[in-house]
Structure 1
Amino acid sequence: MFIPEIRLTGLVNTLHNEKWLLQQVSEGDENSFEQLYRHYYPRLRPFVCKHTGSDAQAEEIIQETFIRIWLNREKLPEVTHFSAWVYKVASREFLTALRKKLTYEEKIGALQYAAGEVASSPFEQMQVREIKALVSEAVERLPDQRRRVFRMSRDQGLKVNEIAEQLSISPQTVKNMLTTSLRQIREHLAAAGHPYLLIYLILNIL
Structure 2
Amino acid sequence: MELLQKIALGDEHAFSLFYYRYNKTIYLFAYRILDSEALAEELMQEIMLKIWMMGDELLRIEHVGNYLRVMCRNRCYNQLRQLRREAGKNKMAAADWQEGSNETEESIFLNDARNLLEEAIARLPAQQREVYNLCQIQGLKYEEAASKLNISVLTVQSYMKIALRSVRNTMRNTMRNYTGITVILTILKLF
TM category, shorter: 0.3 to 0.5
TM-score (norm 2): 0.42
**Bigger Cα Rg:** 1
